[in-house]
Amino acid sequence: MANNLKLPDVQEFDLQVQQSIGRGTVFSLGYLGTLGRELPNFLDLNLAGVQPVVITASDVSGLGPIPNGTTFTVPTYTTYGNTALFGTAATAYKGITEFTSNVNSNYQSMMVEVQNRSLKSVQFDANYTWSHALDFYQNGTSATITSEGWFDPFGNARANYGNSSFNVPNRFVAYAIYNFPGIHSSGVVRYVTNGWSIDTSFQMQNGLPLTYGTSGSNSSDAAGSGWEGAGGLNIIPNYFGINTGHYPRHEVDDLRLEKSFDFEHGYSLELFANAFNIANHQNVDGIGSTSYKLASTGALTGSLTYQGQSSQTSNNTFLVPTSSNNSGWLYTPREVELTARFVF
């Protein structure tokens, strides 16, 4: 644990105004801001032995942002043992992770809502949220980890600043419930015509952020994986930053049809027909995020192969969906559910 480790601090501020626009309908406009300070971070500080590694890009298709044959000379960590920080004992260890609190975040949002719950036959609520979340690569855990960390634990902290992994710029949610009017009758007619209602809900939002990363190590001499051998964030500076991509848009439309039979003495029978994701929209929840693959080609030399070249090659994995509608109760394929409930 770092000597100056501190507890996380969150500051939140919000403002909302509401205006009645007639017939029980309320219009709301709100702002919400949140600042996160002293958030946890995990840095491998036992890296040492920086050496220049020459990396050559390979992309015969010309589809990637880095031209085929481009070479880079990258300062790379090649050994463990930061004796300047930990003393001579450091050479007996590989990664030594410091649990520190040097990550900040900020979230700003605007919310617009129109709502009515007072009409006899109809209730509805529609709201839209615009937001932007930024941070210094917040990982959202308080347990010590070694598989993630900043791009370079000793480099410029700004290299890790960008869209948060939780950033969703636009989100729209709406629902409406309509109770069919009943008729004043008795007998079988009343049971058939009365007690019907229909409920629909819809949500649509931008897909979650996605970092176009790398896999592998840039040479056999690198201490760890990644562009500089630090084993942290697998990005390519000046080409792919933190969460500069995003998953495809997510949409879900659910529908419920309900029929209620009311009997004497408080008994009732309720029948439901629910359809989840009725449009069967493909909500991608897994996608190939490896933009380039690093590989060793010799001592202090490596290659960088683009992973989105062609459907006819094994390199076609970048931005190719790997999973859809497979996120538990949140995103599923179209499902239909029939339910009966007797109340007594």
Domain residue limits, the chain: 9-343
Number of Cβ within 10 Å of residue 295's Cβ equals 16
Check residue 312 and give its pLDDT: 65
Check residue 313 and give its pLDDT: 66
Low-confidence ranges of the chain (pLDDT < 50): none
Number of Cβ within 10 Å of residue 74's Cβ equals 23
Check residue 184 and give its pLDDT: 74
Please give the full DSSP string across 122-146, using - where no structure is assigned.
EEEEEEEEEEEEEES------S--S
**DSSP-derived pairing of the beta strands 268-276 and 335-343:** antiparallel
163, 167, 169, 175: CA torsion to nearest 10: 180
With beta carbons less than 8 A apart as the criterion, state whether 146 and 94 touch: no
Number of Cβ within 10 Å of residue 284's Cβ equals 20
Check residue 146 and give its pLDDT: 60
Q: Which residues contact 187 (CB under 8 A, 6 or more apart)?
A: none
The pTM assigned to this predicted structure is: 0.85
How far, in Å, CA of 294 to CA of 297, rounded? Answer: 10
Check residue 145 and give its pLDDT: 64
Check residue 251 and give its pLDDT: 95
With beta carbons less than 8 A apart as the criterion, state whether 164 and 133 touch: yes
The pair of structure tokens assigned to 173 is: 């949610």
pLDDT tens-digit readout, 304-325: 999 998 766 677 889 999 999 9
